[in-house]
Structure 1
Amino acid sequence: MAKRNPNGAGTVTKRKDGRYQAAVYVPQPDGTSARKFVYGKTWDECDGKRKELVERAKQGIATPTRSAKLTEWLPYWLEHFVAAERKKTTHAKYETHVRLYLLPLLGTKGLESLSPRDVRTFLAKVAKKSSAATAKESHRVLRSALSAACRDELIVRNVAMLVQPPRVTSREVKPWTLAQTRTFLSTARADPLYAAFVLAIALGMRRGEIIGLRWSEVDLDDRVLVVREQVQRVRGELYADTTKSGKRRPVPLPRICVAALRWHRLRQAEARRAAGADWQETGYVFTTRTGRPVEPSNLYRSFVRLSKTAGLPAVRLHDARHGCATLLVASGVPPRVVMEILGHSQIGLTMNVYTHVAQDTQREALGNMDRLLKPQH
C-alpha cells in the first residue's frame, strides 16, 4: 500500500484528464486557512508542488488561494516583513504611506491584476494631493511591498519597477558660513545644550545620535567617542536603536568638543546633586534635570530659538551635518574620510557635498587661466 501523508500534508490524486492534482490547507494573509490546489503532468511533479506548499505552511508563509488584494497583502507585509526586519522609524513611515495613500487609492486592486498604468495613475494622484516627494516615497513603499510578494511567489513580476517615480527637485541646502557658525556657538555658549550643538556642528552627528550618546562611549582623555546608537520618538514612544547605518563608528574629538563635554559633565553632576532622589541614572550625556534623555523635539526647539537670538538665517539642525561636511571638504579632507566621520552609508551622499564645494575650488583654479592665456605684448 502507498504510504499515506499525515493530516494536513495533502494528497495527490489522478484526474480524469490524466493530470495529477494535490490539495493542501495553507494559511491566508488574513490569518485563516483555505484549501489550495496544485497540478502536474506527472505524480512526481505534482507531489513536489505539494511538498512546497506544506513547507510554506510550516513556516507560516501565506499562500493565497486567490489573487490577494492589496488591502490584504499590505497590512500582512507591514506586520511580517517590515516590523520584523526594519527599524521602528521605517515601519512608522511605511505604515503612514500605506494608510494614507496606498490603501485608499490602490487597495481594491489585486496583486496579479495590478498594472503599470495603475501605478502611474496612483503616483499622479498622490503628487497632486500632496507632493512629488511624497509620491516618490509611496512608490518606494509599493515597490518594496511587491518585491516581498515576488519573493513569496504570489506574483511573477513587480510592476512598480516598470514605472519611473516622479522627479523631485532637491531642496538646496545653504549652510551657515564660518562666521555665522561662530556667531551661533558664541550665542549658545551659556545654553545647557551647548555641547550638543558643538557635536552637531563639529562632527556632523545626527540629532538621534547626539541624544543617544552615553558617557560610556566617550573618552575625553584619549579624545574619542563612539557613535553606537540613536534615540528616537516614534508613535509616542521614546526608544533607543542602532545607528542609521547599523554600524558603530569611532570619531576623534577636536579640542572644542572635549572642552564642551568637560563643561557639560560638570553641569550634569550639579543637576544630579540638585535632583537628589528624583535623579534617574540612564548614562546618557544629554539629559533632563532628572536624568532622563532629552526629547528630540526639545533639542530642535533650542536650536531654533538660539538661531533667532543670534539673528541668523533659519536652517534645520540636520543642515549642520551639511555644514560640517562643507568645512571638512574645503579643508582638503578626502571624501572617504568625510564619509566615515558623518556615518554616510554610501559615498554618493558624501560626493554630493564634495562636488558642491569643489565647484568653488574649480572656479578659483580656472581663474588662473586668464593670467596664463593672456596674450604676451
Structure 2
Amino acid sequence: MASQRKRNPNGAGTITKRKDGRYQAAVYVLQPDGTRARKFAYGKTWTECDIKRRELLDKVDQGVPVPTKSAKLSEWLPYWLDNIVKPRRKRTTYAKYEVHVRLYLVPMLGSKRLESLSVADVRRFLVQLEKKTTAATAKESHRVLRTALTAACREELVMRNVAMLVEPPSVDARDLSPWSLDETLSFLSAARKDPLYAAFVLAIALGFRRGEVVGLRWENLDLEKREIRVRTQRQRVRGESYEDDPKGRRRKQTLPLPAMCVAPLRWQRMRQAAQRDRAGADWKETGYVFTTRTGQPIEPRNLYRSFTRVADSAGIRVIRLHDTRHGCATLLTAAGVAPRVVMEILGHSQIAVTMNVYTHVVQDTQREAVSHMDRLLKRRPGRE
C-alpha cells in the first residue's frame, strides 16, 4: 500500500486532489487591507501545484499582499502609503502623497479595481480633476497614481501601469523672477542689523534651502578653514517639527564658505553666547547655529517671515525665500561659473535641474553672449 504524504505544518498550506483529476493548493495570504484570506492555486500534477504553493508562501514570508480578488484602489492606495511610501520616503513626500490619495484619488477612483482600471478611466479622472482644481494639481495626482501603480506592478497585482499610458495635463512653467544684483545688495544692506542676517547671507550666497539654514549645526562649520557641511535639515509636517536628511547631494557635500559669510557667522556665535548667558538655566543646548532666546531651533516659517519683513520694510520687491536659490544660480551663471559647478553648489542630483529650472541668465549676460557671436561670425576684412 502506497504511503500517504505527510501533512504540511500549520500555515504552510494544503494540497488536495480534485474530482476532475487536477490538484488544488490552498494558502492563507495577506490582503492589501491587512487581513488574511485563502488563496487557491491549481496544477495538473502534485509537483506543479506544490511549486505554486511555495511561491505563495514566499510572498507571505515577505509580507507581499496577494489579493484573492483584484483589490480596489480604495484598498491598495492606503496600503501603499503605509507600507511602501512611509517606511522608505521622506515625511514631506508621504504627506504630499497622502493628501492626493485622500482628497482626489480615493473619492474619484477608489471604487475601481486594479485589474479593471483602464486608460479611459485615468483620462476621465484627470479631465474632471483639472476642471475641479488646477492643471498643476491634476498633474501631481497623475504622478502619485502612476507611482502607486508602479508599486502594484512590482508586486504582480497588475500586469501594466495604465497611468503611464495617459499624458498628464500640461502646466505653464512659473515665471521665476529672482532679485537682480542691485536688489540683492539692497536687501543685504537693509538686513545687516537683523538677528538672522547670517541666515539670509547663507541663503543668498550658497543657495541654502530654508530647512537647511535652520538645521545647520556648529559642528558642521569650520570658520578657520572656511568650510561648511550640510548634514541635517529641519521640517515641520502636520504640526510636528523634526530633523531630516538634506535633499539631493547635500548630505555628501563639503562646500567652501564664501568670505562674506564668515564675519556674520562669527557675529552670530557671539550673539548666541550672550543669549546663553542671559537665559541661564532656561537655556537648552541643541547645537544649532540659529536658535531662539532659550536655545531651541527656530521655526522654518519664522525665518521666512523675517525675510519678507526686512524686504518689505526696505521697499524691496518681496520674493519667496526659496527664490534666493534661483538668484544664486543666476548670479553664478552671470559670473561665468560652469553649470556643473553651479549644480554642486546648489546640491542638485541632476544637471538637468540646474540647466532647465535655475539658470535664469540676466539680460546683460544674454546680450554679451550675442555680442560674442557677432565677433565670431563677422567676416574678416578683404574676404567675401
Q: Distance in 1 between matches of 2:215 and 2:72?
A: 41
Q: Which residue number in structure 2 is paired with residue 318 of structure 1?
A: 322
More moved, 322-331 vs 38-47: 38-47
Displacement of 1:354: 6.9
Equivalent of 1:121 in 102, 121, 124 = 124
Q: 1:159 to 1:196 in 2, by over 3 A?
A: same
Q: 1:372 to 1:179 in 2, by over 3 A?
A: farther
Q: Distance in 2 between matches of 1:33 and 1:25?
A: 6
| TM-score, with structure 2 as normaliser | 0.94
Are residue 10 (structure 1) and residue 13 (structure 2) matched? yes
Are residue 193 (structure 1) and residue 206 (structure 2) matched? no
Displacement of 1:279: 0.8
Q: How big is the alpha-carbon RMSD for the aligned residues of Structure 1 and Structure 2?
A: 1.9
Q: Distance in 2 between matches of 1:53 and 1:221?
A: 61
The answer to whether the 8 A contact 1:83-1:91 is kept is yes
| Paired letter, 2:311 | S
More moved, 142-151 vs 199-208: 142-151
Are residue 304 (structure 1) and residue 287 (structure 2) matched? no
Displacement of 1:288: 0.8
Q: Which residue number in structure 2 is paired with residue 258 of structure 1?
A: 262
More moved, 174-183 vs 39-48: 39-48
Name the SS for the 1:292 alignment partner. Answer: coil
Q: Which residue number in structure 2 is paired with residue 160 of structure 1?
A: 163
Q: Distance in 1 between matches of 2:241 and 2:94?
A: 15
Q: Distance in 2 between matches of 1:213 and 1:355?
A: 26
Equivalent of 1:365 in 349, 360, 372 = 372
Q: Which residue number in structure 2 is paired with residue 274 of structure 1?
A: 278
Q: 1:77 to 1:374 in 2, by over 3 A?
A: farther
| Paired letter, 1:68 | A
- Matched ranges for 1:329-344 at <5 A: 329-344=333-348
Deviation by residue 1:300-332 (Cα, 9 ceiling, x = unmatched): 111111111121222111010011011111212
Unaligned runs of 5+ in 1: none
Equivalent residues, number: 377
Are residue 238 (structure 1) and residue 241 (structure 2) matched? yes
Q: Distance in 2 between matches of 1:131 and 1:375?
A: 61
Q: Distance in 2 between matches of 1:285 and 1:153?
A: 48
Q: 1:83 to 1:354 in 2, by over 3 A?
A: closer
| Paired letter, 2:371 | E
| TM-score, with structure 1 as normaliser | 0.95
Q: Which residue number in structure 2 is paired with residue 212 of structure 1?
A: 215
The answer to whether the 8 A contact 1:226-1:250 is kept is yes
Equivalent of 1:348 in 335, 348, 352 = 352
Q: 1:354 to 1:135 in 2, by over 3 A?
A: closer
